[in-house]
Amino acid sequence: MTHAPVPAVTVRPGRPLSGTVRVDGSKNAALPLLAAAATIRRPVRMGNVPDSADVQLLLTLLQRSGRQLARPSAVPRSVALLPLESRPAVPELPDAGRIRASYYLVPALLAAYGQARLPWPGGCRIGDRGMDEHFKVYAAFDDKVETDQAGYRVTTSPSSPAQVTVDLPFRSRGASVVAVLRAVAGGHRLRLGNPNLSPEFTGVLDFLRQAGWQADLARDVLRVEPPAAPDETATLDWSVPGDKIEAGTLACAIAATGGSSRIEGVRAPDVRPVAEALNRLGIPVRAEPDALVLPGGGTPTGAPLTAVASLDPDGLDADFEPALLALALGLPGTHLFADAVNPGRHGNLLPQLRLLGAEFEELSATRCRLTGPQRLTGTVVEATDIRTGSALLIAGLTARGTTTVTGLDQLRRGHADLPAKLRALGADVTEAAR
């Protein structure tokens, strides 16, 4: 019996990375933006759509839901979406269970069919990220929610209120997006307390404002109002922002090798937490309006770094933490890392880094401390999730010998081809099959 080869990359230490590279569109921003485009009732042309696997699967799911898609050949990485064509039966979407962001589809399905049936979301195995807050959002709209072992069903109510109030107990990005898109789907006014304020969510608000919706934020309360006279004919042009997580990952890889590079296509405010962390560690970084620049030079300070994932507006995005952790292994100082947003992430990441020889003091399931610099030695490790995969690539750039990272399919869920970007900067990264 033969088995298909497992996608893998080999990574070897080499010269400092250098050159210019451009990040792809952001997976985390593209997924809610495409769902928003599917929910409003007008044509949308979306640019800078990344070729990552999760985004491409969501586009396939939109097509199966009745959305017409076109890819203009004259504009690479763009997608044109025409309004949903309602069909007699609610679509069955079993493949939606492969990604977590499938829950963004619910408002568009409710707008077209009055009902959504989806399997439980999948995606990275990084702890329990349940949907209780999502279901409370739908309950606020008087929707009926039914669940079983296979998945869940949401059905609209004929008596849905015109004005809806939702107060979130924490700044959940997913629940914030579905609350706003549910209001859009039904033309409701929404008062949303304690919303997520990440660029990925505020980008959806900017998109909806362009479509005529009002979205006003004051004192941690977001108020959303439908347009008085919606235009359902004119095409709305929008673009996915550059991937801040890819930019931060590349910056950590460059810093780990002592290199100097320019990372283009990312907005300065989106990567501010990474720039601040690297500067604290003695690695010069300059954030420009459309680029992150590492000029090289600098001396490691040995200053302690505290990298705690947070949902607060000025906090550290949880997806930055693994790359910073991998970088810190090679730098002097004692550093603290924590991610309670994704409580299973350290359970994925730390065992793989230990295979390379890394040592950690685990303070809890979500907090650890490390002291560097540490000397790593290459071996075979597995990208058990997207961010673990990118952190292992960074660690492999400085480990002695050859590091083989398997599970490349996980990495491609979030990055179309991160190894190719590292190669463009001079990294010794070779794709292989095991």
What are 170-192's pLDDT values in tens digits? Answer: 999 999 999 999 999 999 999 99
Q: What distance in Å separates the CA atoms of residue 36 and residue 31, rounded to the nearest whole number?
A: 9
In 3D space, the residue among 372, 394, 399, 395 whose CA is nearest the CA of residue 301 turns out to be 372
Question: How confident is the model at residue 3, as a pLDDT?
Answer: 46
In 3D space, the residue among 81, 80, 76, 82 whose CA is nearest the CA of residue 48 turns out to be 76
In 3D space, the residue among 203, 243, 237, 264 whose CA is nearest the CA of residue 72 turns out to be 237
Sheet holding 151-155, edge to edge: 115-119, 151-155, 144-147
Distance of CA 110 to the CA centre of its chain: 24
Give tens-digit pLDDT for 296-313.
Answer: 988 999 999 999 999 988
* Cβ atoms of 409 and 53 closer than 8 Å: yes
Measured from the Cβ of residue 219, the count of other Cβ atoms closer than 10 Å reads 5
Name 314's Cβ contacts closer than 8 Å, sequence gap at least 6: none
Question: How confident is the model at residue 5, as a pLDDT?
Answer: 53
Question: How confident is the model at residue 129, as a pLDDT?
Answer: 52
Low-confidence ranges of the chain (pLDDT < 50): 1-3, 126-127
Q: What distance in Å separates the CA atoms of residue 254 and residue 260, rounded to the nearest whole number?
A: 7
Question: How confident is the model at residue 160, as a pLDDT?
Answer: 80
* Cβ atoms of 143 and 160 closer than 8 Å: yes
Question: How confident is the model at residue 102, as a pLDDT?
Answer: 92
For the entire predicted model, the pTM comes to 0.94
Question: How confident is the model at residue 126, as a pLDDT?
Answer: 46
* Cα Rg of the chain (Å, integer): 22
Residue 386 backbone zone (phi > 0: left; psi -120 to 50: alpha; other: beta): alpha
* Residues counted in the chain: 434
Give the CA distances from residue 119 to residues 35, 103, 303, 397, in Å, rounded to whole numbers and listed in that order: 17, 9, 46, 39
Give the CA distances from residue 228 to residues 107, 159, 210, in Å, rounded to whole numbers and listed in that order: 21, 21, 14
Q: What distance in Å separates the CA atoms of residue 90 and residue 87, rounded to the nearest whole number?
A: 7
Question: How confident is the model at residue 433, as a pLDDT?
Answer: 67
Question: How confident is the model at residue 123, as a pLDDT?
Answer: 59
Question: How confident is the model at residue 256, as a pLDDT?
Answer: 97
Question: How confident is the model at residue 346, as a pLDDT?
Answer: 95
* Cβ atoms of 4 and 195 closer than 8 Å: no
Question: How confident is the model at residue 52, as a pLDDT?
Answer: 93
